[in-house]
């Protein structure tokens, strides 16, 4: 299992944010919004911010679940619960 985060911010900004929060996963940069457009995190390449959206993708690249509105306070717990359900 892998966790990745993606943001529209520049490398330096993402590195500082990741260090500040001590994130245990990579925070990737999508400054040209290519991934954001493909995964519906934005509606146009000039979008300033990405929507808080997550995808649960299996080992073969199949999207298992979409989280269209993420609340960062409880999202990790929700994903972990869904992973547990998927494994049973």
Angle (CA) 66 69 75, round 5°: 80
Per-10-residue mean pLDDT of the chain, 88 residues long, equals 89 96 93 95 92 91 92 90 79
Per-residue confidence (pLDDT) for residue 51, from 0 to 100: 92
Residue reference for tokens 């999508």: 30
Q: What is the pTM of this model?
A: 0.78
Domain residue extents for the chain: 1-51, 52-88
Q: Quick one: pLDDT at residue 2?
A: 81
pLDDT score, position 1:
72
Closest CA to 5 of 32, 25, 21, 20: 25
pLDDT score recorded for residue 88: 66
């Amino acid at each position: 299992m892998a966790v990745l985060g993606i943001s529209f911010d520049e490398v330096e900004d993402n590195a500082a944010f990741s260090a500040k929060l001590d994130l245990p996963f990579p925070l990737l940069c999508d400054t040209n919004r290519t991934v954001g457009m493909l995964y519906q995190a934005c509606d146009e390449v000039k979008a300033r911010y990405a929507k808080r959206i997550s995808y649960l993708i299996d080992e073969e690249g199949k999207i298992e679940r979409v989280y269209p509105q993420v609340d960062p306070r409880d999202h990790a717990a929700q994903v972990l619960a869904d992973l547990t359900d998927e494994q049973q």
